[in-house]
């Protein structure tokens, strides 16, 4: 919603007459941040000066050029502030209007706070404003605001997001079933978020009623039925209602299976994978590891056929863990060996975004040697994790430093995921 407001600011049909410039650069190094912002500003002004204009646009030349001579070692923000001040002077807006730098990228909170302090010390022109956002939940700029009041003003955005989303969902033709469905769906999700179990279930039933009513006219409604069965099932997990959760999960699988009468393999495959993956999770939570293993195995093969490697890897990991916990050690070794070979299709950065290390960790706990040798495992894992890959995958639940990972190095942080 904040980003939408930023876009609204630069609209030609809004009452906002300030001239706003959007910047996407992120501040990870205060010394380089000004250079990144200035490069963006140069590009914006180059487009304004040299692009072909619509006949409805009154072109006004702005004789501004970036001046890199204002760089200052002790104040890295000075470069951008002085250049933006100069641009505002050239804009020569009427009194009460401002040239606004909208900093959307933000970046590292501490570094950005330091940069803002330097920007204030650099002397921001009275005709210039910087606009950036913070959150109530994690007010990272609170200290900055307190220290530099009144130079920094907080504008609270008091939005009732659940109601706003319901209103957005209600937009459209009231006679179109999609409008009714969207509104019911948002009400269901809002009640789930608010912890109102009974009301959430009520709106879920309304969604299913609308969707099933129109399947014969448009079979794509069946996809929504699967989604709606899974949503309240997730909610039931919160209340530890095992039987009701499983009942919803079963209905999701039954609906996905019924979709075979309406669609070709691709859509059916997607629905089935989603439904059985969820039902497998319900079985696993309920302690039925044998049934969970079956569902996760089906999901693994389906996701693999789709080429969806992240979900195939996770399904494989859960199938392997379910098999081990239900005493199916030979099967665990087999499916985890298959999952390990997916490593031939991913690199270190892609692996960091999946639970592939968990697959290898479980595999090392099995008697896998007849299915996949240590030599083959080494050839797969070495390019991803480096020479001490065994140590790294057995500690995979620690959070890796992704920046170091991109450089081919793993730095294990002493922060553990609560499993």
**Residue pair 51/131 in contact by the 8 Å Cβ criterion:** no
Displacement of CA 232 from its chain's centroid (Å): 22
Q: Domain locations in the chain? A: 2-148, 161-416
Percent of the chain with pLDDT over 90: 63
Q: What is the DSSP letter of 68?
A: G
- Beta strands 99-103 and 128-131 are parallel
Measure Cα distances from 15 to 3, 12, 97, 268 in Å.
18, 9, 12, 49
d(CA 223, CA 211): 9
Q: Tokens for 401?
A: 């430093």
Name the nearest CA neighbour of 308 among 262, 346, 340, 278.
346
- State the average pLDDT over residues 133-162: 85
Q: Tokens for 197?
A: 């179990």
**Residue pair 381/393 in contact by the 8 Å Cβ criterion:** yes
**pLDDT tens for each residue of 335-353:** 999 999 999 999 888 888 8
Which residue in the block uniquely carries the two structure tokens 């692009």?
51
**Residue pair 233/253 in contact by the 8 Å Cβ criterion:** no
CATH of the domain spanning 161-416, picked from 1.10.10.10, 3.40.50.720, 1.25.40.10, 3.20.10.10: 1.25.40.10
**pLDDT tens for each residue of 219-272:** 999 999 999 999 999 999 989 999 999 999 999 999 999 998 888 778 899 999
- What confidence score (pLDDT) does residue 30 get? 83
Sort 334 into a burial class: Cβ within 10 Å, 0-12 / 13-18 / 19+. buried
Measure Cα distances from 376 to 71, 82, 189 in Å.
54, 59, 47
pLDDT-derived band at 361, boundaries 50, 70, 90: very high
- pTM summary value: 0.62
């Amino acid at each position: 919603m904040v980003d939408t407001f930023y876009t609204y600011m630069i609209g030609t049909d809004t009452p906002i007459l300030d001239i706003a410039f959007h910047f996407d650069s992120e501040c990870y190094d205060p010394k380089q941040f000004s250079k990144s912002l200035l490069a963006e500003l140069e590009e914006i002004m180059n487009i304004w000066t040299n692009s072909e204009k619509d006949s409805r646009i009154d072109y006004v030349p702005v004789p501004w050029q970036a001046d890199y001579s204002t760089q200052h070692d002790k104040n890295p923000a000075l470069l951008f502030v002085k250049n933006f001040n100069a641009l505002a002077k050239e804009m020569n807006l009427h009194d009460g209007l401002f040239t606004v730098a909208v900093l959307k990228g933000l970046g590292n909170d501490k570094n950005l706070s330091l940069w803002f302090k330097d920007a204030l010390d650099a002397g921001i022109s009275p005709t210039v404003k910087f606009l950036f956002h913070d959150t109530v939940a994690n007010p990272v700029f609170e200290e900055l605001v307190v220290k530099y009041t009144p130079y920094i003003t907080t504008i609270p955005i008091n939005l009732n997001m659940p109601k706003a989303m319901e209103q957005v969902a209600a937009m459209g033709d009231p006679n179109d079933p999609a409008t009714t469905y969207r509104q019911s769906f948002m009400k269901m999700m809002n009640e789930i978020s608010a912890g109102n179990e009974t009301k959430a279930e009520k709106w879920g039933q309304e969604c299913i009623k609308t969707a099933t009513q129109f399947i014969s006219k448009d079979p794509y409604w069946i996809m929504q039925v699967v989604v709606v069965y899974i949503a309240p099932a997730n909610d039931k997990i919160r209340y530890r209602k095992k039987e009701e959760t499983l009942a919803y999960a079963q209905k999701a699988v039954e609906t996905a299976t019924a979709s075979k009468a309406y669609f070709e393999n691709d859509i059916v495959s997607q629905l089935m994978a989603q439904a059985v993956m969820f039902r497998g999770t319900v079985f696993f939570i309920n302690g039925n590891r044998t049934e969970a293993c079956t569902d996760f195995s089906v999901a693994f093969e389906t996701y693999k056929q789709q080429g969806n490697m992240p979900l195939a890897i996770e399904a494989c990991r859960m199938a392997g863990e379910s098999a081990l916990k239900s005493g199916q050690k030979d099967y665990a070794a087999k499916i985890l060996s298959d999952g390990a070979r997916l490593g031939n299709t991913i690199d270190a950065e892609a692996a960091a975004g999946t639970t592939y290390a968990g697959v290898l960790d479980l595999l090392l706990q099995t008697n896998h040697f007849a299915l996949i040798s240590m030599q083959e495992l080494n050839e797969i894992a070495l390019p991803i994790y480096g020479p001490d890959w065994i140590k790294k995958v057995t500690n995979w639940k620690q959070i890796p430093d992704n920046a170091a990972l991109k450089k081919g190095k793993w730095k294990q942080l002493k922060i553990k995921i609560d499993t």
